[in-house]
Amino acid sequence: MLRFEQSTDQAARRWSRSKRLWNAMLLAVLTASLTACGAGAGTGTQTNNPTGQSSAQTGSQAASAAPAELTVALDWYPNALHTFLYAAQEQGYFRDENVNVTLQMPSDSNDPLKLAAANKVDLAISYEFQVIQARSEGLPVVSVGAIVNHPLNVIMTRKDSGINSPKDLAGKNIGYPSIPFDEALVRHTVRADGGDEQRVNFTDIGFDIIPALSSKRVDAVIGGFINHEQLLLEKNGVPVHVFKPSDFGVPEYCEIVMATSDQTLAQKQAALAGFFRAAAKGYQYVIGHKEAALRSLLANQSAEFPLDEEIERKSLDILIPLMQVDNEPFGSQKEDQWKQFAAWMKQENVIESEPKIEEFMKNLVK
């Protein structure tokens, strides 16, 4: 079964505002994780089958084993991205895999990865760049499955701004959430389009992306997603130009992934694999029953963050084709893609050292 929990301080949801704060967070969580590893080894639900067993073996033993408990930290409030989770619950797919899933909404969008690293949750919905950055600085986290296999984060300008290509951003003011990765995306895109990246100015707007661009406080924004901020801006009468960094040489990457800790992966690998089998069925259900899946999402929306049904329907239309790549199973990750993206992050000085692929990415989906 699936339960939904909310944190009390939801209004405080914000990303880290500086690399210094991000590093401090990593240090604090690494300390907490190491403490948890020493004090909590051997604790938790020990109902999973040994790793390496087939799905048939797992299923045949499920009836006689107590359900494995898995807590999943969402990346944000419930929205179209999470429909596959609610579908997996309502259709009994988690139950079929003998896992009890609890969803936890974070009070801060940095929390999921921190909680996973400290073994406070079993899975965290996170971002490929964030997992690589965290691992490069010593945080014991690993991505075990992709949710959105393509970038959602784009550069947006007002159509009435006169900015018609990335090179036009030279000398302009870019609003961003003070995340070094976003700055690197902009600089690379401007440079690749023949513009002077050194003349780009950045203003920290947090995640006030929509009001900052609507009010013309800034000339462009980065950090907004094509399935959310773009849709809301256009609904509110602000048509935008969209520049996708991947169109200008930034390697493709998975915008949304599922991450866990080294310790949880070692102790609960069979349960995590079962989670992904159920999640894949949930995704397939959403494809075939979009309206029913949307109704389920709306029934599970947060009172503090009510959803716009029209926006969520459009968001789901955007997300569905991006949540599976080629003909690979839902949740699959491509090693070459992760290697190329990690190398790009190193090249752009987002990370100081490039971790080994086996340290930050592992496929549980077969």
| Surface-to-core class of residue 63, CB atoms within 10 Å of its CB (0-12 exposed, 13-18 middle, 19+ buried) | exposed
pLDDT given at position 277: 97
Q: What is the mean pLDDT of each run of 10 residues along the chain (366 residues)?
A: 37 37 47 40 31 42 77 96 97 98 89 96 98 97 98 98 98 97 98 98 96 98 98 98 98 98 98 98 98 98 96 98 90 97 98 96 91
List the Cα angle 86/91/95 in 5-degree steps.
Answer: 90
pTM: 0.84
List the Cα angle 355/359/360 in 5-degree steps.
Answer: 85
Q: Which amino acid is at 225?
A: F
| Surface-to-core class of residue 48, CB atoms within 10 Å of its CB (0-12 exposed, 13-18 middle, 19+ buried) | buried
pLDDT given at position 33: 42
pLDDT given at position 64: 61
Residue ranges and CATH numbers for the domains of the chain are: 2-149+254-360 (3.40.190.10), 153-248 (3.40.190.10)
Tokens of 234: 């256009």
Residue written as token pair 């070094």: 180
pLDDT given at position 272: 98
Characterise 118 by phi-psi region: left (phi > 0), alpha (psi -120 to 50), beta (else).
alpha
pLDDT given at position 352: 97
